Structure 1
Amino acid sequence: MSAGAAARAAAARAVGAVIGAGRSLDDALAAATGALQGPDRALAAQLAYGSLRLYPRLARWAGLLLARPLPPRDADVQALLAIGLYQIEASRVPDHAAVDASVEAARLLGRARHAGLLNACLRRWLREGDALKARVAREPEVVHAHPRWWLDALAHDWPRDWEALVAANNTQAPMWVRVNCRRTSREAWLARALAAGIEAEPWDAAPDALRLEKPVAVEELPGFAAGDVSVQDGAAQLAAGLLAPEPGMRVLDACAAPGGKACHLLERYEGIELTALDVAAARLERVRDNLARLGLEAQVLQGDAADPASWWDGRWYERVLLDAPCTGSGVVRRHPDIKLLRRPGDTAALGARQQALLDALWGVLAPGGRLLYATCSIWRAENAAQATGFLRRHPDARAVDFGEPAWGRRAGPGRQLLSGEAGADGFYYACLVKTA
C-alpha cells in the first residue's frame, strides 16, 4: 500500500460527505478517521481541511480534467481528485506520491474502476497544469476560492475589506486559549507554557486570552486536564466582559452549547447564578463535560430559547447572553465547509430565527437588565441590521455604547470584528439594556 493511502481515503470520505451529502466536516471527519492512528489521522484532517479551504478553485480545475461531470453518487471520487490536486498545488507532498497514494486510496474506497481515471487526470495535470490553469485563471471562484455569490455578498457588505476577508478565510486559523483566572493568572500560565516550549502572545482586548504561535494537542497544554486553561478563540472571549454580571445576578446563556462562554462567565464572575440553556440535548453533554473539567456549577436546561413558556420559571434574569445561531460566516477559517454548505437564502432564514430569539428573550430580562446579542457572522443582515431592527420594535430598549475599544469597528448599535483581525474570528456584539 502507498504511504498515506489510508489517510487519503479517509479524507476523501469526509470531503465527499460534505460536498455530496451536506454533512459538516467535523462530523464527517470524526466518522471517517475513527480507525486511523495518530499520524494518519492528522494527515487525513490536514488534507480534508486544506482541500475544502480551496475547494471552489480545485473543483473548477477538476472540471477541466473530466470529460463529463461525475454523478453525485461518486462524490468521494470527486473529493479524491480535488485532494490530489490540492497536494500537487498547495502542499509539500512530492508529485509522484500524491498521484500514487490517490490511486491507491481509490481502491481502498472500493472505487477500483475509478483508479485509472484518477491516475490519468492527475498525470495530465502534471503535464498540462500550467496551461489548464491559465484557461480559468481570471474566474472569481478560481482566484479567490469562494463561491461567486459569497464574493458578491462580501463586496456588498464590506467593499473596502472583502479581499482581506477572502484572504483570511483561505488561511488556517491560529489556536487561542483562555486562561482560567480562578485558578491562575495569564502571566503565570504563559510562563508554564514557555517552559513547555509553547510560545504565545496576549491580546489586550481580552484579559484571559493567549494566541499560540503554533497549534498543539490539548493534552500538551499545561494544566488542561486540571482546568487551568481552555481552548477558545479570542473574539469569543470578549462576551464575558461585555455582559459583565455582578455577584448575585441571575445570568442566562440562551444558546449555551458547547459551553465556552458560560464557563468563562463563571470563571471571571464568582457569585452569579448561571443557567445554561440549549435546544439540543446531545450538545448539552458538551456543556456538562466542560463544567466538570473546570470544576464549575450551573443549571443546565434543555429548551427552545424562543419558547420561554416551556422552560422559564418566571424569575427575571439580570443578564442574558444570546449567542445566536447564524451562518458562521466569521469562522470559515476554522470550518471551511461553511462556504460550501451555505446558500444565499440562509441569511434570511436564520435572520427570522434570530429575531424570534431576541423578542422572546427580552421577555425574561429584568427591567434595567442587559442582553448581549452575539454572532460569529460578518453579514450585516445578521448583525447591525438585526440589532437596529430590534431597537425599532422595542421602545423600552437602548443600546450600550462600547466607545472605542481595542477591537473591531462600529456597526449599527454594536461592534463588528472581521475575520482575521488581531488573528481572531469574525464576531458581532450588540449590548441592549431594558429601560426601567
Structure 2
Amino acid sequence: MKAAAPGVALRVAAAQTLDAVLQRGRSLKAELAQRLPTLPDVRDRALLEAIAFTAVRSQPRYDAALKAWIPKPLGRRDDDLRALLQVGFAQLELGLPAHAAVDATVEAARNMGRTHQAGMVNALLRRALREGLPQVAADAAWPEWLRKRIRRDWQNDADAVFAASATPAPMWLRVNRTRIDRDAYRARLGEAGIEATTPEFPSDALVLAVPVAVHDLPGFEDGLVSVQDGSAQCVADALAPPQGARVLDACAAPGGKSAHLLERDPTLQLVALDIDPHRLKRVRETHARVGVGAQAQLRAADATEPTSWWDGAPFDAILVDAPCSATGIVRRQPDVLRHRRETDLDALRDVQARLLDAGWSMLAPEGVLLYATCSILAEENEQQVDAFLQRTPGATVEALDARYGRVSGAGRQRLPGEGGMDGFFYARLRK
C-alpha cells in the first residue's frame, strides 16, 4: 500500500474501521479509538467518525444496493472493497461534495491495491448519485430474534422504536453546576456560535441544535460540561440520595453518573465500583476532569460478591446501572445489533439478578436502590424487577413520575427518541 494523500488516508482508515466492525466483529468504539489518533486534523477525525456511524447504521441499505448493482456478489476476499464502497455511500448520504467524495474513494481503492476495481467503485458511486440508494424496512438492521422480542414487548410502538433507532441521536450536554449554572453556560455556547435549547427536565441538561466535537465545547477540558444523554442524566434525579449520604455506584464505568451525583452534592460519601480495572481508569479521568475526584472512593471489585471488598458499613443509596442488551441506545451504538447474540440474554439476566440481590444486602434500612438499564426489553427490566420483588421481603416500590417515561411494571420505561432521549428503564426500590 503506497502512502496516501490526507483525504485518501481518511477513506482508507474508514474502510479499515468498517471492515473490522462489520466483517470481523470488532467494537466500533474500540476501532475508532485506535484509528482517530492517526489523523492529525480534527476535521478529518470528525468526518471519519461520521462516516463510520452512518455506514454501520445504514448497512442494510448499502448491502441491498451492492446486491442489486453487482452481477457477481463480492466474496470474503473482497471484504475491504465492500467496506470501501460503504464508505463511499456514507459520504454521499452525509452530503459531502460528490466530486471530491467519489474521486477520493476511487483513489483509496488504488491505494488499497484495488486498482483493477477502481472503475467499478467509480461506477457504483455515480450510480448511487443518479438513482439514490434503495430503501429498506426500518427494522432491517435488527436480527430476527431481537426484532421479535421488540414487537412482542412493544406491539403498538415497535415501528417507532425501529425508526428512532435508525436515526442519529441529538447531542445532550450536562452542565456542571458546581462550576457554572446552566443559563450562563448556554450563553457561553452562544458566544461560540453554538445553538442550544434548555429542556424542562433534566435540570442540568442542554441540547445542541447541531452536534459539535467535544473539544469545541467552551470549558470542556476545564470540566464545565460533559456529554451525556438526557435519559442517563435522569438517573441522578431518580436516585435522589439525601445530602451527605453514603452512596454506592455498583457498575460505575465510564463514570458519568457518579460524577453527576457528586456535581449535585459534593458532600456525598460515594464509592464507585467496577469489575474492570481498565474501565475504572476511565472513571478516574472523568471524575478528575469535572473536579470531583477527591470526593469519590474508587474500587476495582465485583459488586455481586460483597464479601470480597465490602467493609460492612451499609449504604444509604445504591445505583445498579446494570449491564444489559443496550437495545435502548442503538442510535448511539449501532454496532450493538451486530454483536449481540440471543444467548447473551441469559447471562445478562443472571448478572442483573445477582447485582440486585447483592446490592440489597448492602443497603441500609430505609435506604433506596435504583435499578436502571439502557435496555427496552421487558425481561431485563419490569420482569427482572418483578422477580426481585417476589423473592425479597421488605422491598417496596417508590413510583417515579411521567418524566421518566411510561409505566412499566414497578418502574418506568422510556423508548428511544421519546423526549429526544435514549431508551432507558428506572425502578426505585425502598428497603
The alignment covers a number of residue pairs equal to: 424
Find 1:91's aligned residue among 82, 91, 94: 94
Residue 272 of structure 2 corresponds to which residue in structure 1? 276
Matched, 1:417 2:414: yes
- The answer on whether the counterparts of 1:85 and 1:122 sit within 8 Å (CA) in structure 2 is yes
Which residue of 49, 52, 59 corresponds with 2:56? 52
2:172 is the counterpart of 1:176: yes
Specify whether residues 331 and 266 from structure 1 end up closer, same or farther in structure 2 by C-alpha distance, changes over 3 A only: same
TM-score, structure 2 as length reference? 0.91
Q: Is the 8 A contact 2:46 2:213 kept in 1?
A: no
When the two chains are superposed, the root-mean-square deviation of aligned CA atoms in Å is: 2.3
Residues 23-65 of structure 1, C-alpha deviations (whole Å, 9 max, x = no match): 1111112222322122222221111111111112212222233
Q: Which residues of 2 match residues 304-323 of structure 1 at below 5 A?
A: 304-323=302-321
Pair 1:147-2:142 in alignment: yes
Residue 255 (structure 2) pairs with residue 252 (structure 1): no
Does residue 65 of structure 1 match 2:69? yes
Which structure 2 residues correspond to residues 114-133 of structure 1 after superposition, within 5 A?
114-119=117-122, 121-122=124-125, 129=131, 133=134
Match of 1:385 in 2: 383
* 3-state SS in 2 of match to 1:184: coil
CA distance in structure 2 between the partners assigned to 1:266 and 1:156 by the alignment: 39
Contact 2:9–2:108 (Cα < 8 Å) also in 1: yes
**What is the Cα deviation at residue 312 of structure 1?**
1.0
Going from structure 1 to structure 2, the CA distance change for 1:62 and 1:344 (only over 3 Å counts) comes to: farther
Match of 2:262 in 1: 266
Question: What is the alpha-carbon distance in structure 2 between the residues aligned to residue 219 and residue 96 of structure 1?
Answer: 30
Residue 374 of structure 1: CA displacement? 0.6
Q: 1:389 to 1:58 in 2, by over 3 A?
A: same
Question: d(CA) in 2 for partners of 1:280 and 1:20?
Answer: 27
Supply the AA of the counterpart residue of 1:285.
Answer: K
Cα distance in 2 for partners of 1:34, 1:348 equals 37
1:263-306 Cα offsets, whole Å, 9 max, x none, are 11111123221000001111111111122122212100001111
Q: Give the deviation of 1:144 after TM superposition.
A: 4.3
2: CA distance between counterparts of 1:286 and 1:276?
A: 12
Counterpart position of 2:204? 208
Give the AA of the match of 2:303. A
Asked if the contact 1:323/1:373 (under 8 Å) is kept, the reply is yes
> How far apart are the structure 1 equivalents of 2:227 and 2:213?
10
Is there any run of 5+ residues in structure 2 with no aligned partner, and where?
none
- How do 1:188-203 residues align onto structure 2 when only pairs under 5 Å count? 188-203=184-199
The answer to whether the 8 A contact 2:22-2:56 is kept is no
Q: Give, in angstroms, the shift of residue 373 of structure 1.
A: 0.5
1:411–1:315 CA distance, 2 compared to 1 (3 A): same
Change (3 A) 1:32 1:248: closer
Does residue 227 in structure 1 map to residue 223 in structure 2?
Answer: yes
- Equivalence for 1:303: 301
1:317 CA displacement? 1.0
In 1, are the aligned partners of 2:244 and 2:265 still within 8 Å (CA)?
Answer: no
Inter-partner Cα distance in structure 1 for 2:55 and 2:191: 35
Q: Alpha-carbon deviation of 1:22?
A: 1.3
Distance between the aligned counterparts of 2:129 and 2:222, measured in 1?
51
Letter in 2 for 1:406: R
1:102 to 96, 102, 105: 105
Aligned pairs for 1:367-386 (under 5 A) are 367-386=365-384
Checking the alignment, whether the CA contact within 8 Å between 2:366 and 2:430 is kept in structure 1 is yes
| Residue identity (%) | 49
- Partner residue of 2:333? 335
Measure how far apart 1:111 and its partner are. 4.1
Contact 2:182 2:204 in 1 (8 A): yes
**Pair 1:16–1:184, CA change in 2 (3 A):** same
Deviates most, 197-206 or 43-52: 197-206
Indicate the residue corresponding to 1:398 in structure 2: 396
Cα 1:16–1:390 change in 2 (3 A) is same
AA of the residue aligned to 2:58 = L
Distance 1:295 1:38, change over 3 A: closer
Q: Do the aligned partners of residues 114 and 278 (structure 1) sit closer, same or farther apart at CA in structure 2, a change above 3 Å counting?
A: farther
Aligned residues of 2:404 and 2:426 also touching (Cα < 8 A) = no
Equivalent position SS for 2:317? strand
1:102-149 Cα deviation digits (max 9, x unpaired): 22222333444554553454456567x57x94xxx5x63xx5442352
* C-alpha distance in 2 between matches for 1:176 and 1:4: 30
**What is the alpha-carbon distance in structure 1 between the residues aligned to residue 262 and residue 128 of structure 2?**
55
Using the TM superposition, give the Cα deviation of residue 334 of structure 1 relative to its aligned residue in structure 2, in angstroms.
Answer: 1.3
Tell me the residue number matched to 1:291: 287
Q: Does the aligned pair in 2 maintain the 1:57–1:144 contact within 8 Å?
A: no
| Pair 1:349–1:113, CA change in 2 (3 A) | farther
Distance in 1 (alpha carbons) for counterparts of 2:212 and 2:178: 23
Counterparts in 2 of 1:104 and 1:289: CA distance versus 1, 3 Å: same
The CA distance in 1 between the partners of 2:91 and 2:338, in whole Å, is: 20
Identify the residue that residue 82 of structure 1 maps to in structure 2.
86
Cα distance in structure 1, aligned partners of 2:371 and 2:250: 10
